[in-house]
Every structure is written in C-alpha cells, then in structure tokens.
Amino acid sequence: DSGVTQTPKHLITATGQRVTLRCSPRSGDLSVYWYQQSLDQGLQFLIQYYNGEERAKGNILERFSAQQFPDLHSELNLSSLELGDSALYFCASSVGGAAGNTGELFFGEGSRLTVL
C-alpha cells in the first residue's frame, strides 16, 4: 500500500460528459502529480501541484484541469469527454517538489475511466 488513495477506481461515462477524479496523497507529502496511462502511450505526465500551487504542466489538454486543496488532496477534472480519453489516470505524491529528492513517486492504484 503506497498510502496514496484514489477514487473512484472505475468510472464509465458518455462522450461530452464531465468527471472528477480525486486523490489523497501520502501523509506529509506536499506534491501531487497526475499521470495518464493508455495502452499505446505509457505513462504521460499531466500536471503537478506543490502545496496548493501549480508547479509544472505536461501534456494536459485544455479540457482537463486540476487543483490541490488546502488539505493537500487533489482533483482532476475532465470535461467534454471523448472516446480517446478512456485511460487509467494515476495520482502520485512525493515529499518535495522535484519528483522527490530521490526521484521516488508514490502512486495510487489509479482510476480507470471508460468513455462510451
């Protein structure tokens, strides 16, 4: 158990809809990262927050947004969903803001999104 909690584990929705994925980082971790994992593209970095502030952006679509709240949990909002958004969405956390000083990220078990 990594200590990172993600909900929901599974989500099925229709095209054009909006969903919110939630992540609670490990106790004491200030950074939260969101990754998208699809079969053909591996793990793609979406966005990072550190202590409530956006720290870095990766390949995140404009239809997607995220935030980190004062209690350090984070939410990833996906809107105007398309079939191609079907994927596993992982949240990870680390103590520091540089992918961890040791490069170690602690991943949750992911939220599997299916867009029909």
Partner 1 sequence: QQQVKQSPQSLIVQKGGISIINCAYENTAFDYFPWYQQFPGKGPALLIAIRPDVSEKKEGRFTISFNKSAKQFSLHIMDSQPGDSATYFCAARGYSSGSARQLTFGSGTQLTVLP
Contact between 80 and partner 1 per CB under 8 A: no
For residue 49, give the 3-state DSSP assignment. strand
Contact between 56 and partner 1 per CB under 8 A: yes
Least Å distance, CB 108 to partner 1, is 5
Contact between 73 and partner 1 per CB under 8 A: no
Contact between 107 and partner 1 per CB under 8 A: yes
Task: Determine the Cα–Cα distance for residues 63 and 96; give it in Å rounded to an integer.
Answer: 28
- Cβ proximity to partner 1: between 17 and 102 the closer is 102
The identity of residue 28, as a single letter, is G
Least Å distance, CB 2 to partner 1, is 6
CB neighbour class for 40 (10 Å; exposed up to 12, middle 13-18, buried from 19): exposed
Which residues from 21-50 bind partner 1, rule CB under 8 A?
A: 31, 33, 35, 41-45, 48, 50
Vertex 93: Cα angle to 7 and 2 (nearest 5): 70
